Amino acid sequence: MSSMQSALVWGLRYGLPGAAIRLAARRGELIARSVVDPAAMDDPARLYAQLRAMGPIAGNPRVSASAHHGVVNQILRHSGFVADPGAAPTRALNRLLAAAIDPRALGPVDAPSLLAIQPPQHTRIRKLVTHAFTPRAVAGYAERIAAIASGLLDQVDPSTGAFDLVKDYAAPLPVAVIAEIFGIPTDIRSDLLRIGNEAAVTLDPALTWRDYRAADRAIREGNALLDRRIAEVRRDPGGDDLLSQLVRASADGDRLTDEELRGNTLLLIGAGFETTVNLIGNAVALLLDHPEQLAGLLANPDGWDNAVDEVLRYDSPVQLTLRIAAEDVQISGERIRAGRPVILMLGAANRDPSVFDDPDTFNVARTSAHQHLAFSAGIHYCLGGQLARLEAKIALRTLFTRFPTLALHSRPTRRATRVLRGYQSLPVTVKTSPNQALTPTP
Ligand code: HEM
């Protein structure tokens, strides 16, 4: 039964729309290329400029898209649009999809994940978790983040000095941080990392059946793992970690249902590392490619905050998101009809020359860097933005202060995901001098 349900969900959500998108991309249609063609992403600046030249809101028969900062920002904050990243192409298909979804396989794009629900449910759940991610709460995690970062660097083998910056540092660091916030025992963290990596592709449109099946299996495993952990916490609910707090809130079903508890814990834990790993990896690659800017930061550590924002702007870890018009809406003189999906190209908005001078130049001292939309805007604005910024700042400062001779060791590879943009592998060494021939792909 569950594999038939999975096949139906895949067909409605990814298979049908995916076939249309791939066909359009093969014909060279720009919006379709921007969401499925990995080659287009080798040179995102060029593609984004072409998309922007199509006007404030570009469109094809199925979907609209915007690469303009002003329009993207306006739609993200507009109450006439809803977030439903896993929606099927029509209302009728959506009803079928809702009936087919297996509650044991609910992932980050399924309600009741915060990413897929609207007020008042969204407001109620967000309120229950916000306190753990306020600037004040986040500042309290700084010491632990620094200790985790140093502990990981202690494990670099001094005889070779070589390691994979992603696998050995950028990935485990945010996993450890979010696991500590949720009181997740150390022995299941590597499972969480694997599950998160396998499930992250569900954010992408046009997933193949094979990739979807692997992600679906991982999401089921993640749900089962959390169920076991939640049962443990229910037996001993006195802890002050965030999961214990949420379990106590769920004891009163009016505040949080069991499904809301599990779905949002899964989202928060996954969102806590699947994106931050990309921020740290993208930052290291960019700084190694701009040694003079790195030297400036090491001489003036006050610049790290702005540098992190510039990385978020220039090589955004979340490249795009989706909104659906809930009613007929007029934007930039164009009418968007109810039900129409609009792709918001966050990564492209962050290269909009009307907001950022010389947008395709990486400049850690850029004063407008913080105006990026890498964390979205409006009611779904990233809950973990402050945490991600702090983790990245501490991770980078600790890394480059400890290993000022850090250099690429062999060619980095990008992750295949389209919504999430980062490195799969970034082989580095602390022993040799930088090898200019191995500059990362743009
Ligand atoms: C560099 C790191 C990160 C980036 C680039 C990022 C980006 C984003 C973006 C773009 C959204 C909104 C999507 C939309 O509007 O459709 C979002 C939402 C969210 N993020 Fe992050 N994120 C990062 C780190 C984190 C961390 C560390 C957490 C940990 C708690 C987190 C938790 C969330 C949650 C729970 C939401 C959903 C919020 C809602 O819908 O109300 N994120 N993130």
Residue 203 φ then ψ, to 5°: -75, -20
* DSSP run (H or E) holding 278: helix 276-289
Cα distance between residue 267 and residue 238, in whole Å? 23
Q: Is the peptide bond before 301 cis (omega within 30 degrees of 0)?
A: no
| Separation in Å, CA 3 to CA 10, 148, 220 | 10, 40, 12
- Is 395 near ligand 1, meaning CB less than 6 Å away? no
Pairing of strands 64-66, 341-344: parallel
Closest CA to 70 of 255, 344, 279: 344
Determine the Cα–Cα distance for residues 388 and 139; give it in Å rounded to an integer.
11
Beta strands 329-331; 407-408: pairing state: unpaired
Question: Which residues, in sequence order, are bridge partners of residue 317?
Answer: none
Residue from 129, 305, 382, 396 whose mutation best tests the ligand 1 pocket (most atoms within 8 A of CB): 382
Residue where the block lists tokens 């990739």 = 211
pLDDT (0 to 100) of residue 436: 42
Is 277's C-beta closer than 6 angstroms to any atom of ligand 1? no
Amino acid identity, position 298: L
Query: What is the distance in A from the centroid of ligand 1 to the CA of 267?
Result: 9
Tokens 């004063």 found at: 367
C-beta of residue 199 within 8 angstroms of C-beta of residue 107: yes
Strand, helix or coil at 353?
A: coil
Burial string for 54-82 (b: 16+ CB within 10 Å, else e) reads: eebbbbeeebbbbbbbebbbbbbebeebb
- Identity of the amino acid at 215: A
* 108-136 confidence digits (pLDDT tens): 889 999 999 999 999 999 999 999 999 99
CA angle, 4 then 9 then 13, to 5°: 155
Q: Give pLDDT tens digits for 225-267.
A: 999 999 999 999 999 999 999 999 888 777 889 899 999 999 9
Q: Does 268 sit in the ligand 1 pocket, CB within 6 Å? A: yes
Beta strand segments in 53-142, E: 58-59, 64-66, 81-82
Index of the ligand 1 atom closest to the CA of residue 321:
16
How much distance in Å is there from the Cα of 286 to the middle of ligand 1?
A: 22
Residue 440 is predicted with a pLDDT of 55
- The tens-digit pLDDT sequence of the chain (442 residues) is 467 888 999 999 999 888 999 999 999 999 999 988 877 778 889 999 999 999 999 998 889 999 999 999 999 999 999 998 888 878 888 888 888 888 888 998 899 999 999 999 999 999 999 999 999 999 999 999 999 999 999 999 988 999 999 999 999 999 999 999 999 999 999 999 999 999 999 999 889 999 999 999 999 999 999 999 999 999 999 999 999 999 998 887 778 898 999 999 999 999 999 999 999 999 999 999 999 999 999 999 999 999 999 999 999 999 999 999 999 999 999 999 999 999 999 999 999 999 999 999 999 999 999 999 999 999 999 999 999 999 999 999 999 999 999 999 999 999 989 999 999 999 999 975 544 444 555 5
CA 141 to ligand 1 centroid distance, Å: 18
Atom of ligand 1 nearest to the CA of 129: 35
Q: What is the reported pLDDT for 1?
A: 45
Backbone angles phi, psi at 5, to 5 degrees: -60, -45
Give me the amino acid identity at 293: Q
Does residue 389's CB lie within 6 angstroms of at least one atom of ligand 1? no
Distance CA 388, CA 394 (A): 10
Tens digits of residue pLDDT in 62-98: 899 999 999 999 999 999 999 988 888 788 888 888 8
**Which phi and psi (to 5°) does residue 247 adopt?**
-65, -40
Contact criterion met (CB below 8 Å) for 84 and 203? no
Strand ranges in 33-186 using DSSP code E only, listed in sequence order:
58-59, 64-66, 81-82, 162-164
pTM for the predicted model, two decimal places: 0.95
| Amino acid 62: pLDDT | 86
**What are the backbone dihedrals phi and psi of residue 159, each rounded to the nearest 5 degrees, phi first?**
-75, -35
| Phi, psi of 323, rounded to the nearest 5 degrees | -130, 155
Is residue 424 within 8 Å of 414, Cβ to Cβ?
A: yes
- Cβ(400)–Cβ(298) under 8 Å? yes
Q: Is 73 in the pocket of ligand 1 (CB under 6 A)?
A: no
Whole-angstrom distance, CA of residue 341 vs CA of residue 34: 15
Q: Compute CA distances 109 → 53, 112, 219, whole Å.
A: 30, 9, 11
